[in-house]
């Protein structure tokens, strides 16, 4: 059994699909049967061609024409009769094993291309390397993992999953376990929006299993079992079914209000990463979108998305929510979120560096494109725009100013822009929380980003499982920052949401309710459970509970306080 962090609830029992590059070691064997080796080579070559065809077909629509053309170059290279003839001739003449012959011929071809004084041929050398790596792996029966090729129900096991990895997961990916990451790392967030179970920060998981092993992923407790016995599999099948039924039972709350027993109403909204996720929010009874992380639009692209592409995406989300509030966060890139087509400066601490609003205010060309697209889309629903990582009032003013300029330009061009767009900010840097009353004079709303607020308050990298014990949103220090934020906003008649993971955490909801939070935005799959909790609580009692929590000394005391109150 391995222990990790339960990042997206659920239970999966399936075969392991290991996302790890194989080590291809070629040995020379002599005195081989040439006919058998040639047959082996033919089969491996056929598999190589069909692998590339499949990868290309699955990538179509996701990659640009230029990137797809790379697959054609690979196919042409792999089906070159001269290449196959050379390998077979070597097998026949020297009675060597097929993988050795393939390796020698490949290396000669690569050396020849590399020695040419011409970029075109040097690129062909890279193609030969790629294709022959796959061919040799196929000859040795090794798997080159590719998430788009997963064709039986599997649990993906990896060191980490990048956003582009998660974009490739298909219906056979029943869950994943990664060696690194925490509850708020992006792989975890993606798992929740895909509604598949995930355990992250599970050190040793790659070493503990082999491709094809059976694995139980208990993403409720954060436990992973490799090659369990029959009894255990049965036990977990029962647990998985119970979990499914529990989720089913919550569906009666889909169209219910989120209101306490004494009539205090709040809003439960969903966090999304792509327009596709709107469906999950609607199906889970979301009363709005409290956070649209637009960076995925940029990360899943091969170049900066155009104004038109962005406009289409924002419009789709606004229309999909049918007039309900949609909070779109402007580009929050940097930290652990990189772009393949943009060079970030080398920094010692990227999470403290050139990211989010800092980058957007420096590169206003990028920022303006996004703001124009948003302003244009605003007429299709109820749009709220928020700026990430605001640390100072001047940053907020400048961001707002750029938006106003773009809005004015559009109106001058005769383009319609809604006049009820709200402009708010994320409170995820302690400096902003402390000065919330001043920020609230200028912002229409706040959304508290506890994932980063905890990271920056505790000085604990959210990607590091070593310091994940410091992810303590219920620590009284954090509760006091949250209270300052809410009070600062309410004093100015502004509303406050929370879109960090804390908002959907069952132990945190009662305290946040008591602190006066107006909107809770979470993974779609957490909404109904949160509604059940809200509907069962008394607001006055939660205010008292929150006041007591603010006086606690440790997170453990807060947790005990909440649990003893709820079990009364």
Distance of alpha carbon 403 from alpha carbon 409, whole angstroms: 10
Contacts to ligand PEP from residues 318-377, by CB under 6 A = 332
Please, which of residues 174-193 interact with ligand PEP by CB under 6 A?
A: 184
Distance (Å, rounded) from C-alpha 525 to C-alpha 247?
9
In the annotation, is 186 catalytic?
Answer: yes
Cβ proximity to ligand PEP: between 55 and 163 the closer is 163
Alpha carbon 30 to its chain's center: 49
User: What, of Mg ion, ligand PEP, none, does residue 293 touch, CB below 5 to 8 Å by kind?
Assistant: ligand PEP
Which of 285, 449, 504, 516 is close enough to bind Mg ion by CB under 5 A?
449
Nearer to Mg ion, 113 or 456 (CB): 456
Partner whose footprint covers residue 369, from ligand PEP, Mg ion, none (CB < 5 to 8 Å by kind): none
* Inter-residue contact 146 to 435 (CB < 8 Å): no
* 154-158 sheet: strands from edge to edge: 2-3, 223-226, 214-218, 11-19, 154-158, 173-178, 198-200, 5-8
Question: Is 499 designated active site?
Answer: yes
Of the candidates 209, 360, 384, 499, the residue annotated as catalytic is 499
Residue 45 or 429 with smaller CB distance to Mg ion:
429
Beta-carbon contacts of 457 under 8 Å, excluding residues fewer than 6 positions away, are 430, 477, 478, 481
449 binds ligand PEP (CB under 6 A): yes
Q: Does 499 bind ligand PEP (CB under 6 A)?
A: yes
Q: Contact letters (x/-) for ligand PEP, 82-121, by CB under 6 A?
A: ----------------------------------------
Among 452, 465, 505, 518, binds Mg ion (CB under 5 A): 452
For residue 500, the partner it binds in ligand PEP, Mg ion, none, with Cβ less than 5 to 8 A by kind, is ligand PEP
Residue placing its CB nearer to Mg ion in the complex, 267 or 452: 452
451 interacts with ligand PEP by CB under 6 A: yes
Q: How many whole angstroms separate alpha carbon 306 and alpha carbon 302?
A: 11
CA 211 to chain centre: 24
- Whether the CA torsion 252, 254, 260, 263 is positive or negative: it is negative
Residue 450 contact among ligand PEP, Mg ion, none, beta carbon within 5 to 8 Å by kind:
ligand PEP
Angle at 150 between CA 65 and CA 335, to 5 degrees: 65
Both tokens of residue 169?
A: 């997961």
> Token pair 């599970």 is at which residue?
202
Q: Specify the residue, 215 or 333, whose C-beta has the smaller distance to ligand PEP.
A: 333
Nearest distance in Å: CB 192, ligand PEP = 11
Angle at the Cα of 107 (from 101 to 110), degrees rounded to 5?
140
Task: Report the residue number, 273 or 476, with the smaller CB distance to ligand PEP.
Answer: 273
Q: Does the protein bind ligand PEP through residue 500 (CB under 6 A)?
A: yes
For 288, other C-beta atoms within 10 Å of its C-beta total 21
> Of 229, 251, 232, 230, which is closest to residue 240 (Cα–Cα)?
232
Which residues of the chain form contacts with Mg ion (CB under 5 A)? Answer: 428, 449, 452
Which residues of the chain form contacts with ligand PEP (CB under 6 A)? Answer: 184, 291, 293, 332, 428, 449-452, 499-500
Give the residue numbers annotated as catalytic, written as ranges: 186, 499
């Amino acid at each position: 059994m391995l222990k990790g962090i339960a990042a997206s609830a659920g239970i999966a029992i399936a075969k392991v699909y290991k996302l790890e590059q194989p080590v291809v070691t070629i040995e020379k064997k002599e005195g081989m049967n040439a006919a058998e080796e040639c047959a082996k080579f033919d089969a491996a070559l056929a598999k190589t061609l069909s692998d590339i065809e499949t990868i290309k077909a699955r990538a179509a629509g996701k990659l640009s024409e230029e990137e797809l053309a790379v697959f054609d170059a690979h196919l042409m290279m792999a089906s070159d009769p001269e290449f196959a003839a050379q390998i077979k001739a070597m097998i026949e003449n020297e009675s060597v094993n097929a993988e050795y012959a393939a390796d020698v011929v490949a290396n000669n071809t690569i050396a020849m291309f590399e020695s040419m004084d011409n970029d075109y041929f040097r690129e062909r050398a890279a193609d030969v390397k790629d294709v022959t790596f796959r061919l040799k792996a196929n000859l040795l029966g090794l798997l080159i993992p590719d998430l788009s090729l997963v064709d039986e129900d599997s649990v993906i096991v990896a060191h980490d999953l990048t956003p582009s990895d998660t974009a490739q997961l298909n219906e056979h990916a029943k869950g994943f376990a990664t060696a690194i990451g925490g509850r708020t790392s992006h792989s975890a967030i993606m798992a929740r929006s895909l509604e598949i179970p995930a355990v992250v920060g599970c050190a040793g998981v790659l070493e503990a299993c082999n491709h094809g092993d059976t694995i139980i992923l208990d993403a409720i407790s954060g436990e992973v079992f490799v090659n369990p016995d029959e009894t255990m599999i049965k036990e977990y099948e029962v647990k998985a079914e119970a979990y499914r039924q529990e989720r089913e039972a919550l569906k009666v709350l889909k169209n219910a209000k989120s209101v306490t027993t004494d009539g205090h109403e709040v809003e439960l909204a969903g966090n999304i990463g792509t327009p596709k996720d709107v469906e999950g929010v609607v199906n889970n009874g979301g009363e709005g979108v409290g956070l649209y992380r637009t960076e995925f639009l940029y990360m899943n692209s091969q170049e900066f998305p155009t104004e038109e592409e962005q406009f289409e995406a924002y419009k789709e989300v606004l229309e999909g929510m049918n007039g309900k509030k949609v909070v779109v966060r402007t580009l929050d890139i940097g930290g652990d979120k990189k772009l393949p087509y943009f060079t970030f400066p080398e920094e010692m601490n990227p999470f403290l560096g050139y990211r989010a609003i800092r980058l957007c205010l420096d590169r206003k060309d990028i920022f303006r494109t996004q703001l124009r697209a948003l302003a244009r889309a605003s007429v299709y629903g109820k749009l709220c725009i928020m700026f990430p990582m605001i640390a100072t009032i001047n940053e907020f003013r400048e961001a707002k100013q750029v938006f106003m300029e773009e809005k004015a330009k559009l109106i001058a061009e005769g383009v319609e822009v809604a006049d009820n767009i709200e402009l708010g900010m994320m409170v995820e840097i302690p400096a902003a929380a402390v000065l919330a009353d001043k920020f609230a004079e200028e912002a229409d709303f706040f959304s508290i980003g506890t994932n980063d607020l905890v990271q920056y308050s505790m000085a604990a990298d959210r990607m590091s499982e070593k310091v994940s014990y410091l992810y303590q949103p219920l620590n009284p220090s954090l509760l006091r920052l949250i209270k300052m934020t809410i009070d600062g906003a309410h004093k100015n008649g502004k509303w406050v949401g929370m879109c960090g993971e804390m908002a959907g955490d069952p132990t945190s909801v009662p305290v946040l309710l008591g602190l006066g939070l107006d909107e809770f935005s979470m993974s779609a799959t957490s909404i109904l459970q949160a509604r059940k909790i809200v509907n069962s609580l008394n607001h006055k009692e939660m205010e008292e509970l929150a006041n007591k929590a603010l006086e606690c000394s440790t997170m453990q005391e807060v947790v005990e306080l909440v649990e003893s109150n709820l079990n009364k």
